[in-house]
Amino acid sequence: MAIHEGPIKHEFHYQPHTGVLTAVQTQATEDMILARNAELRKNPGALRDLGQDEEGGSWGRQMASIPFIMFQAAIKAGFDLTNTDAKYAAKEMQRFLATPKGKRCLVQATDTRIYTGQ
């Protein structure tokens, strides 16, 4: 049985001989998002900092584009990405982006530090 909710697909597999029900989530756009991230890392000028040409200078930068399935998997793996303490959540995001899976989500090849208020 499969259920589609937008780009997320939920599949349920029941094995009668073992009585085990397995749920699998997939995101058809995951490979496209990761491929775009790889292209953006190759072209450092493709993304501009927010406010780059404004008085006072830059005030924001996109660091990563994370497919929802990978975001959920990171949370299950122990990364506290939804913590209500923004500084702590930013440190957890930095920790995730330092992993091999997290590095695939980066859109900037250099200066991938996240501001943590310190």
Give pLDDT tens digits for 8-32. 788 888 999 999 998 887 787 888 9
Q: What is the dihedral of CA 24, 30, 31, 35, to 10 degrees?
A: -160
CA 25/CA 67 separation, integer angstroms: 12
Token pair in block for residue 86: 């923004």
What are the domain boundaries of the chain? 29-103
pTM: 0.70
CA 40/CA 71 separation, integer angstroms: 20
Average pLDDT of each block of 10 consecutive residues along the chain (118 residues)? Answer: 70 91 83 91 76 69 87 95 93 93 86 52
